[in-house]
């Protein structure tokens, strides 16, 4: 069975600093995607970034980037120049090639200190 593990229930970062959220996954699929979703206090689930397993280059979206280590099955999210609006719950998720659903981690709550 596929699993996604986020080992940091809570993290804190100073405004303008950089923070890295950890995620490990386990899948038997060879073709899959990995995602990071953000859930601010408004509750809306927002896609932050995605990574295709076949691509070696790490995905980047503005201040958000990932460190994808396929052999280690690691998919961490780096937030640079943290802003107060980055405070949220962050969920890591993986897809399976033959399944229609996503497997979510339990989330990491990120606080940003002014």
Partner 1 sequence: DAGVIQSPRHEVTEMGQEVTLRCKPISGHDYLFWYRQTMMRGLELLIYFNNNVPIDDSGMPEDRFSAKMPNASFSTLKIQPSEPRDSAVYFCASSLRRRPYNEQFFGPGTRLTVL
The binding site for partner 1 (CB under 8 A) comprises 31-33, 35, 37, 43-45, 47, 50, 52, 91, 95-97, 99-102, 104, 106-107
User: Residue 21 is encoded by which pair of tokens?
Assistant: 């959220």
CB of 45 to partner 1, least distance (A): 4
DSSP H or E run through 23: none
Helix, strand, or coil (residue 106)? coil
Task: Give whichever of 33 and 64 is closer to partner 1, judged by the CB atom.
Answer: 33
CB of 48 to partner 1, least distance (A): 12
CB of 114 to partner 1, least distance (A): 26
Task: Give whichever of 27 and 82 is closer to partner 1, judged by the CB atom.
Answer: 27
Task: Give whichever of 29 and 80 is closer to partner 1, judged by the CB atom.
Answer: 29
Q: What is the DSSP pairing of strand 88-95 with strand 33-39? A: antiparallel
The span from the CA of 92 to the CA of 70, in Å, is 15
CB of 95 to partner 1, least distance (A): 4
Contacts of 58 (CB under 8 A, 6+ apart): 51, 65, 66, 67, 68
The answer to whether 66 touches 36, Cβ cutoff 8 Å, is: yes
Task: Give whichever of 14 and 44 is closer to partner 1, judged by the CB atom.
Answer: 44
């Amino acid at each position: 069975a596929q699993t996604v593990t986020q080992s940091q229930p809570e993290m804190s970062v100073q405004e303008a600093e950089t923070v890295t959220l950890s995620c490990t996954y386990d899948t038997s699929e060879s073709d899959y995607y990995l995602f990071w979703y953000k859930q601010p206090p408004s509750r809306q689930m927002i896609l932050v970034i995605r990574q295709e397993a076949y691509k070696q280059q790490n995905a980047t979206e503005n201040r958000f980037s990932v460190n994808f280590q396929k052999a280690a099955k690691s998919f961490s999210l780096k937030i640079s120049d943290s802003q107060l609006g980055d405070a949220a719950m962050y969920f890591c998720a993986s897809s399976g090639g033959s399944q229609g659903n996503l497997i979510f981690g339990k989330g990491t709550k990120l606080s940003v200190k002014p």
